[in-house]
Amino acid sequence: MQGKVFVIGLGLIGGSIALAIKKEHPEATVIGFDARLEEMKMAKAMMVVDGYVENIKGGAAGADLIILATPVLVTEKLVRQLLQMELKENVIVTDTGSTKESIMAQAVQFKEKGIVFIGGHPMAGSHKSGVTAAKPTLFENAFYLLAPYDKRSKMKTEELERWLKGTRANFITVSPEEHDEMVAIISHFPHVVAASLVHLVKDADAEYPLLKRLAAGGFRDITRIASSSPQMWADISIGNRENLIALLDRWTENLQKVKRALEESKYDDLFRFYAEAKQYRDRLPISGSGAIPSFYDLFVDIPDIPGVVSEITNKLAEKGISITNIRILETREDVYGVLRISFRSEKDRDNALKLLKEETPHEVYIQ
């Protein structure tokens, strides 16, 4: 598509969307703005944008698509600023914020100016921030939630999806209210829990100096998201605070039940608590689209001998099989450790399984 795209906030999400747009629409011009000059310079150097401007007014003038990819409370402020500016008549303004209600409450004023605003939220991301973490494939197969506010913005949704086609995301329309309620449950509240688990360990740190080193696989898996940007999550927490407060009450009730079962040593209740959770968790879609990324993992039992890991990765590299992650899950002296290797696709994983079975003496399996 021809035209000028203006991305405000050149971090992980703004950068990834800019890259996806540039890949799909090389004929468009993508201009960026960020509050931090270094981020703009880096974005230009990485060819995430064609250029940058020194203020929002300069970028917004004449833009066909304006994308706000800043922390949600900042986005609310920027919407108010954009409302004061002269914009192209047919421009589409959208955002990427993790909350929708409070942003849409401001953005609805665009209607009076005849400007289309479509709330947006790509449901994929990372605990990393900044433009250096941006990649055009970040949203592949993920859901991309869109919240148009009236008939005209609904009609323009198709045009926005065409602009965003390079994300390879699956677009779904939701209302801002149902959006915020749903993401509070599956995204925002889990971040509160992850951060509070880390606090639990941090508070016990002085008493047990070994704790940090013992905090292994399970703890790291469940708390990965606690490494996300504090500004982004403080903004989201305020932006969705009513839903979060309601969930905190429900969660506390749930934990009270667990506490009672523990106090009364009710084995069956505890068993059911874990079994029901396992059953539901195991049924979550993992290979299709969704907020939970697909993991194509392979496990290799390896002895604790220097050079074993590189032997395996070299074999995969020789056959051109790329890996997306690699981790030793456990290794102790004289005991086998487990190497977990993640792949981008099922096909890569299956090829790796065959190769390592044929060409190494190690036990190789899919869990």
Ligand X SMILES: NC(=O)c1ccc[n+]([C@@H]2O[C@H](COP(=O)([O-])OP(=O)(O)OC[C@H]3O[C@@H](n4cnc5c(N)ncnc54)[C@H](O)[C@@H]3O)[C@@H](O)[C@H]2O)c1
Buried b (16+ CB within 10 A) or exposed e, 87-108: bbeebbbbbbbbbbbbbbebbe
Instruction: For the beta carbon of residue 341, count every other beta carbon within 10 angstroms.
Output: 25
CB nearer ligand X, residue 7 or residue 312? 7
Q: Which stretch in 44-52, 64-72, 79-87, 348-356 sits in contact with ligand X by CB under 6 A?
A: 64-72
Q: CB-based contacts of 30: which residues, under 8 Å, 6+ apart?
A: 5, 7, 18, 21, 22, 48, 49, 50
| Least distance from ligand PRE to the Cβ atom of residue 186, Å | 7
Q: Judged by CB under 6 A, does residue 126 bind ligand PRE?
A: yes
Site string for ligand PRE, 133-172 (x = CB under 6 A): ----------------------------------------
> How many residues of this chain interact with ligand X, rule: CB under 6 A?
30
Contact 116, 86 (CB under 8 A): no
Distance CA 321, CA 343 (A): 8
| Least distance from ligand X to the Cβ atom of residue 178, Å | 17
Contact 117, 91 (CB under 8 A): no
| Least distance from ligand PRE to the Cβ atom of residue 128, Å | 8
Residues in the chain: 367
Candidates 4, 20, 10; CA nearest to 62 is: 4
Residue showing tokens 């968790």: 281
Distance CA 258, CA 281 (A): 19
Site for ligand X in 213-232 (CB under 6 A): 229, 232
> How many residues of this chain interact with ligand PRE, rule: CB under 6 A?
10
Q: Judged by CB under 6 A, does residue 123 bind ligand PRE?
A: yes
Query: What is the DSSP code (8-state) at residue 293?
Result: P
Residue showing tokens 């999806």: 161
Q: Residue from 75, 98, 240, 294 that binds ligand PRE (CB under 6 A)?
A: 98
Structure tokens that stand for 328 in this block: 């030793």
Q: Judged by CB under 6 A, does residue 293 bind ligand X?
A: no
CB nearer ligand PRE, residue 62 or residue 190? 190
CA quadruple 126, 129, 132, 134: dihedral, nearest 10: 40
With CB under 5 to 8 Å by kind, the binding choice for 291 among ligand PRE, ligand X, none is ligand PRE
| Least distance from ligand PRE to the Cβ atom of residue 155, Å | 26
Site for ligand PRE in 211-240 (CB under 6 A): 225, 228
| Least distance from ligand X to the Cβ atom of residue 162, Å | 21
Residues forming contacts to ligand PRE in the complex (CB under 6 A) are: 98, 123-127, 187, 225, 228, 291
Residues forming contacts to ligand X in the complex (CB under 6 A) are: 8-14, 33-36, 39, 69-72, 74-75, 96-98, 121-122, 125-126, 129-130, 229, 232, 236
